[in-house]
Amino acid sequence: MTIYDSGATLLYSSIDDYGLGYLIVSFFGVILLQDTCFYFFHRGFHHPLVFDWLHQGHHSSKHPTPWTSFALDFPEAFIQGLFLVAVVFVIPLHLLVLALLLITMTIWAVIKAMAENSLATARPSGTALVGHGCCSVVDAYS
Ligand SMILES: [Zn+2]
């Protein structure tokens, strides 16, 4: 028996349970929530007390590639992975929405890494101004 089978999560498989409108709103709502959480988690990862053991590995990539978005130290990957695990216990999500969230977040991470690489190579020095692009906004306000 899985946790899903036990009914402990709020995952559902019939669109009729909450309707098509809720399905669409839940997708965009969780995307917005994930992006907001990621921003604040990322700010926390840059705190001097945790940066070296939690986020340094991600910043070891000096020339970002699409794979850079997945270059995470285990503690950081674990914390970020907990987001979707926690969400399925507090927000009703259709299984299709959960799959689309994973696909969207993965594609978005790759696109961001590719865009960061383009921005880095477009600069006269060929390097990012502050680390690589995904962290530039956080670094700028840290
Ligand atoms: Zn960072």
- In this structure, of 31-40, 51-60, 133-142, the range with the lowest mean pLDDT score is 133-142
List, for residues 39-69, the tens digit of each pLDDT value.
Answer: 999 999 999 999 999 898 888 877 777 778 7
Question: What is the band of 33 on the pLDDT scale with cuts at 50, 70, 90?
Answer: very high
- Cβ proximity of 10 and 88 under 8 Å: yes
What's the 136 CA to ligand 1 centre distance in angstroms?
Answer: 8
Q: Is 51 helix (H, G, I), strand (E, B) or coil?
A: helix
- In this structure, of 46-55, 75-84, 117-126, the range with the lowest mean pLDDT score is 117-126
Closest CA to 81 of 57, 109, 60, 102: 102
Flag whether the pTM goes above 0.85.
Answer: no
* pLDDT of 24: 97
What's the 91 CA to ligand 1 centre distance in angstroms?
Answer: 28
* pLDDT of 127: 40
* pLDDT of 5: 85
* pLDDT of 98: 95
- Position with higher pLDDT, 21 vs 58: 21
What's the 83 CA to ligand 1 centre distance in angstroms?
Answer: 18
What's the 14 CA to ligand 1 centre distance in angstroms?
Answer: 39
What's the 33 CA to ligand 1 centre distance in angstroms?
Answer: 19
List, for residues 99-111, the tens digit of each pLDDT value.
Answer: 999 999 889 888 8
The sign of the CA dihedral 73, 55, 90, 98 is negative
What residues are neighbours of ligand 1 (ion), with CB under 5 Å? 135
